[in-house]
Chains A and B, each alone.
Chain A
């Protein structure tokens, strides 16, 4: 009746996951009950859960990312502490738990922390920067978000019901095949990623269409902000790469469920084919993560240096070159797994070429800063931290790109330090920079600078204290994912890394305090003009928080850096003519996303536990929800011209006051 699901699935005899899972369930229940008792449910349903507004969806993505980063960080604390204690000792985590923890850490951080963070920021900022009202397919956008949430939910459910995969975040066969992983762990991984992968692919399609087909009048390709170019490249990569992930995981699922022989040891299967195909996805995946980060830094560096971006055209060419070159390097993830020197050499050279393209971008950022009037606000601090940290990470990557060198450090902590170096230094720093940069546009007030800067310094120093020792132990020969070790040479470095985790923990606490303090003091930190940073692109041309329709009248773009032009013109002419307001049509909110995701969750859960009737019901339910949605007759709602005028006049009044104030100094 319930397939393989029994009460044995709950880990009553394993204290760590039992306590952790119960704690999470308790917290979630308390939050849900509090929301219900306070009467917030209708508001949340109407304004956030069913919202198709890209700004709201972006905020929800970033919220998901931050929550999942917390969970992944706790996994990291457990790993570092286990290794600190487990020198000539067993530590406190048995191997079968430690394996699940490092697998969950990787899966959660990549798929449910880093990806949603970047996708959330792209969701929020790209339509605003393009000067338009929303993305191409708003309801699809909402559905993508909820499907991603279902993936995250499934992984978290595995904490309390069943187990997680013990294979690492990339489940190589034959270990991940049914013979050697007979439990439900790998199935949780597979269904979580198959479902959230659909959501991500839909996001990719949405943004490629938006950036190519929906832009403000006058915004040709060469007048798009750099963040939009990197968003385009990243989403093209999503469209091209995520099908590979879906296909490969589907093949592994077929092997496990129906006895296929794609990757099995017998009947002709080829485990190395999994490795090949999954890294053909895996390498573009990390560029999907880092390209929006590059775009965020381009925006932040040019704004806080008060200069236009240096070498715009070379940046565009470099960004689009990534889309192709990233598909020529994936073998560098498995140099040591049997390919010949010729194959290794070609892919090694291709990897070095990718480093070259990144170097072009780094020089352009540096030259943007040169000769500018730099303002050291916290987004700029994150950017400078990125420039140093990412370059170091990139250089270690160049070392790994040389196959003979890689043979010595493959799968050691050197590799671990390298990819954390580039992902934390690139993606996470960008996430926090972008979060601080666009927070006023989303909520109408800035984040507290003092706590932000403290968090930055703690993160930067903490990062180096954790990972430089890991570089050293890697060179000393320490493999990754060790549950215990006896080699005395590594021990002091592992202990040093644990101190770094303490610093990172303090940084995380500072971020939480920053949020609380900023909300408390939001009136002092309020952004009235809509342009708190003296920005250069179109998102700053509208009020903070941005109204539902983004722009009362779609801006007309005359040159690159369109908002800078608008500001300059306004200052020169000392007048901003009131535009002619017209009614605005926006897409109606819809519950189809959350309903489809609800059914998708049950499909995933049912497939994991072999509850076939539930799976079939889930599929039928999802299809029925979709047909019901497709049958609706009214797609849009209208905001009258009078209402638009009323909302916009308030903003214009503030702008005119600002103009008269600053006219003398800026003329």
Chain B
């Protein structure tokens, strides 16, 4: 924390014409002026900055997904004589994929608890299980895609299939990138231990993985379950 200039004696009362119902000194909350991150206490801590910044990135990612969702919503009836959702979607596969991702989200949470307890062994185990469950999800999904393409229901068949492959594929790409990131993080934690910057990155990964599961909830509800009704 850097000290600041001493207030000259002759300064007198501060009249802040822009204070919104604050006390006379223009400070917030009855004189408690050292609120970091909400502006009046100076810059926030590195952890808050990194976490909030990554949160904003995740919100931008959600906006990008929503565009693909909107495209799918518009194009979901355009099967151009080809197969529709009801014919293509396999409920048991979707259920297994959902279970895998949900379980991996839980184990990611367990990893977070292990990280807070600074336990290297438990962190590595939980992260490994998270990764394996995520990998199972990706492999299953890739298998489904390959089957659909082989049967002539690939993304070039109709607009419905294009938008389906795009939105589900984008999610799968994110999960794959997350797995790559996870592997790198496991290596970094192993080599460098629980250093502050490593902890911040683990926080970001944790947020990322949970948001991916949130997007999957929207995906399987709107794309698969609603799609299977047609």
A contacts, CB < 8 Å to B: 132, 136-137, 201, 204-206, 208-209, 212-223, 239-240, 242-244, 246-248, 250-251, 254-255, 258-262, 264, 266-270, 273, 277, 280, 312-313, 553-556, 558-560, 565, 569, 572-573, 575-577, 579-580, 582, 623, 627, 630-631, 633, 635
Best-surrounded residue of A243, A246, A264, A269 (most CB of chain B within 10 A): A243
Is B158 touching A267 in the complex (CB atoms < 8 A)? yes
Interchain CA distance A267-B192 in the complex, whole Å: 53
Is A240 touching B60 in the complex (CB atoms < 8 A)? yes
Closest to A208 in B: B56
Interface residues in B12-60 by Cβ distance below 8 A to A read 14-20, 22, 26-28, 33-34, 37-44, 48-49, 52-53, 56-57, 59-60
Interface residues in B42-85 by Cβ distance below 8 A to A read 42-44, 48-49, 52-53, 56-57, 59-61, 63-64, 67-68, 70-71, 74-75, 78-80, 82
B contacts, CB < 8 Å to A: 2-6, 8-11, 14-20, 22, 26-28, 33-34, 37-44, 48-49, 52-53, 56-57, 59-61, 63-64, 67-68, 70-71, 74-75, 78-80, 82, 155-163, 165-166, 180, 184, 188, 192, 197, 201
Is A270 touching B10 in the complex (CB atoms < 8 A)? no
Is A559 touching B14 in the complex (CB atoms < 8 A)? yes
Q: Provide the residues of chain B in CB contact with A218, threshold 8 Å.
A: 27, 33, 40
Is A573 touching B10 in the complex (CB atoms < 8 A)? yes
| B2 to A: closest C-beta gap in Å | 5
Is B80 touching A260 in the complex (CB atoms < 8 A)? no
A-B contact pairs, 27 of them (CB 8 A): A204-B56, A213-B37, A214-B43, A216-B42, A218-B27, A219-B39, A220-B26, A223-B16, A240-B63, A243-B64, A244-B63, A247-B67, A251-B71, A255-B162, A260-B162, A261-B161, A261-B162, A262-B162, A267-B157, A268-B158, A268-B159, A269-B78, A269-B162, A270-B74, A558-B26, A569-B8, A577-B5
Is B16 touching A205 in the complex (CB atoms < 8 A)? no
* Contact A553/B53 with A244-B63, A268-B158 known, Cβ cut-off 8 Å: no
Q: Provide the residues of chain A in CB contact with B49, threshold 8 Å.
A: 136, 209, 213-214
Is A261 touching B156 in the complex (CB atoms < 8 A)? yes
Is A205 touching B57 in the complex (CB atoms < 8 A)? yes
Q: Provide the residues of chain B in CB contact with A269, threshold 8 Å.
A: 75, 78, 159, 162
Interchain CA distance A627-B82 in the complex, whole Å: 44
* Contact A239/B59 with A213-B37, A216-B42, A220-B40 known, Cβ cut-off 8 Å: yes
* Contact A553/B71 with A262-B162, A312-B18 known, Cβ cut-off 8 Å: no
Is A268 touching B80 in the complex (CB atoms < 8 A)? yes
Closest to A201 in B: B60
Q: Contacts A204-B56, A205-B57, A569-B11 known; list 4 others, CB within 8 Å.
A: A219-B39, A239-B63, A577-B5, A577-B8
Is A248 touching B67 in the complex (CB atoms < 8 A)? yes
Interchain CA distance A569-B14 in the complex, whole Å: 11
Interchain CA distance A123-B40 in the complex, whole Å: 22
| B221 to A: closest C-beta gap in Å | 20
Is B184 touching A630 in the complex (CB atoms < 8 A)? yes
* Contact A209/B166 with A219-B39, A554-B42 known, Cβ cut-off 8 Å: no
| B141 to A: closest C-beta gap in Å | 17
Residue among A240, A254, A560 making CB contact with B18, cutoff 8 Å: A560
Interchain CA distance A270-B159 in the complex, whole Å: 8
